[in-house]
Amino acid sequence: MNTQATLTAHFGYKLVDWYQSNSRDLPWRRTRDPYPIWLSEVILQQTRVVQGRPYYERFMQAFPDIHALAAASEKEVLALWQGLGYYSRARNMHATARTIVLEYGGKFPASYRELIGLRGVGDYTASAIASFAFDEQTPVVDGNVFRVLSRYYGIFEDIANPASRNLFKKAAAMAMPPGQAATFNQAIMEFGALQCTPVSPLCPSCPVNSTCYAFRHEAQSMLPVKNKKTQVKERHIHYVVLCRNGSIAMKERTGKDIWEGLFDFLEVEAGAAPDWPAVLPEDLARFSPTPVSGPAKHLLTHRRLLISFSMLELPETVSLPAELQWYTPGEIKELPKPLPINRFLKDFL
DNA sequence: AAGCCGGGGAA
DNA sequence: TTCCCAGGCTT
């Protein structure tokens, strides 16, 4: 065994050792059942454990197995997902539950190759399920793994470049102790989350600092290299809350846009003229809605939304624009809605 | 390869 | 403010 191979194997065993005494006790780590493992992995995509965990508990409570999830409506699933963001995860997860029930007889596919064919299951999630539930020797590469490996080995490849993923997968595979895929994969991610953190990593207490490139070269803050910056665009949205006899007009967002599948109000998006008065649809142009609140800032990763609300009591004689529908307060409670809509309903109605 | 898709917490 | 989180899909 050459020096490099010895070094990497040493690294993998050290991480596993570290994990045995430093890991958090998380519910999805107490099982080999692919259903809760898959559920937790989808919830935790781009999401911190502290943020995702309550959702995991609620989903397991509401849908204890794949059949329960498949039997639910997409609307129910989205409603439970409210506030977690990246709603396509919920829609894909629901579709995959139905696929597994209908095409796999309710039994989860048990290999990376099959898993990655499922909707909402990409390279990371397929490897995670395959290793955690089925002991397949396939390395996971997530944000934590990019960080740990780039620092330890001094890999300066841009992690935003999809091509560099293979390099990291090979490095992870070399470090993986034979027969310990599940533990090693958990270990390297947990190590990234708790020890080798993005800012101010805990190098003094790190078990592998003596052989870590970044520590030896004081390059922790330079790694991983990530060049692509997502630029944030501003977007002005004005909602006109149409009311009649205690009901409110809402619509489902259908286009390929933010909050697809969620419900909101009559929407007047202002391009060049960000502020009220917004231009109402032709049928409603003679009315003057009452401004209620906003514009309030709502930040997404890639958008800076400025949202304002006004209200209009719509006379019986005026018909509703086609895409809208009347909902009672009780019905509205059950609809999946974006966070700003929920905040408005809570504060002003 | 690049753009799109949420929301929150830490510094 | 900026960064990034147990990423994946579409174009």
CATH code, A26: 1.10.340.30
In this structure, what token pair is assigned to residue A170? 């090979």
The nucleotide whose C1' lies nearest the CA of A88 is: B5
The nucleotide whose C1' lies nearest the CA of A85 is: B6
Within this chain, do residues A133 and A62 fall inside the same structural domain, yes or no?
yes
Pairing between strand A263-264 and A233-244?
unpaired
Within this chain, do residues A66 and A202 fall inside the same structural domain, yes or no?
yes
In this structure, what token pair is assigned to residue A77? 């699933």
Of A222, A252, A286, the position where a domain reaches its end is A222
Within this chain, do residues A169 and A299 fall inside the same structural domain, yes or no?
no
pLDDT-above-90 percentage for chain A = 85
Within this chain, do residues A212 and A249 fall inside the same structural domain, yes or no?
no
The reported pLDDT for the residue numbered A46 is 95
Within this chain, do residues A72 and A172 fall inside the same structural domain, yes or no?
yes
Phi-psi region of A259 (alpha: psi -120 to 50; beta: other; left: phi over 0): left
Kindly determine whether the C-beta of residue A49 is less than 7 Å away from any atom of nucleic acid strand C: yes
Per the model's pLDDT, the better-predicted residue between A115 and A272 turns out to be A115
CATH code, A290: 3.90.79.10
The nucleotide whose C1' lies nearest the CA of A260 is: B5
The reported pLDDT for the residue numbered A163 is 87
The nucleotide whose C1' lies nearest the CA of A43 is: C6
**pLDDT greater than 60 at residue A274:** no
Of A165, A199, A222, the position where a domain reaches its end is A222
Of A222, A248, A273, the position where a domain reaches its end is A222
Instruction: Catalytic residue, from A41, A57, A74, A323: name it.
Output: A41
Tell me, in Å, how far CA of A216 is from C1' of C6? Answer: 28
Q: Which residue is nearest to nucleotide C3 (CA to C1')?
A: A198
Question: What's the alpha-carbon Rg for chain A, to the nearest Å?
Answer: 24
pLDDT tens track for A194-246: 999 999 999 999 999 999 999 999 999 999 999 888 889 999 999 999 999 99
Within this chain, do residues A69 and A196 fall inside the same structural domain, yes or no?
yes
A228 occurs within a structural domain: no
A120 occurs within a structural domain: yes
Q: Which residue is nearest to nucleotide B5 (CA to C1')?
A: A86
Within this chain, do residues A337 and A241 fall inside the same structural domain, yes or no?
yes
The reported pLDDT for the residue numbered A285 is 83
Question: Distance (Å, rounded) from C-alpha A229 to C-alpha A15?
Answer: 31
Residues in contact with A183: Cβ distance below 8 Å, sequence separation at least 6, in sequence order: A16, A19
**Domain boundaries, position A293:** 233-348
For chain A, what is the domain count?
Answer: 2
Within this chain, do residues A339 and A262 fall inside the same structural domain, yes or no?
yes
Tell me, in Å, how far CA of A124 is from C1' of B4? Answer: 19
pLDDT band of residue A1 (cuts 50, 70, 90) is: very low
Within this chain, do residues A67 and A102 fall inside the same structural domain, yes or no?
yes
Q: Where are the beta strands (DSSP E) in chain A?
A: 233-244, 247-252, 263-264, 266-270, 290-299, 303-313, 325-327
Tell me, in Å, how far CA of A254 is from C1' of B11? Answer: 38
A116 occurs within a structural domain: yes
8 A C-beta contact, residue A321 and residue A266: yes
A227 occurs within a structural domain: no
- A269 is annotated as an active-site residue: no
**pLDDT greater than 70 at residue A2:** no
Kindly determine whether the C-beta of residue A53 is less than 7 Å away from any atom of nucleic acid strand C: no
Three-state DSSP string of A243-305: EECCEEEEEECCCCCCCCCCEECEEEEECCCCCCCCCCCHHHCCCCCEEEEEEEEEECCCEEE
Kindly determine whether the C-beta of residue A348 is less than 7 Å away from any atom of nucleic acid strand C: no
Within this chain, do residues A214 and A268 fall inside the same structural domain, yes or no?
no
- Give the H/E segment covering residue A170: helix A164-175
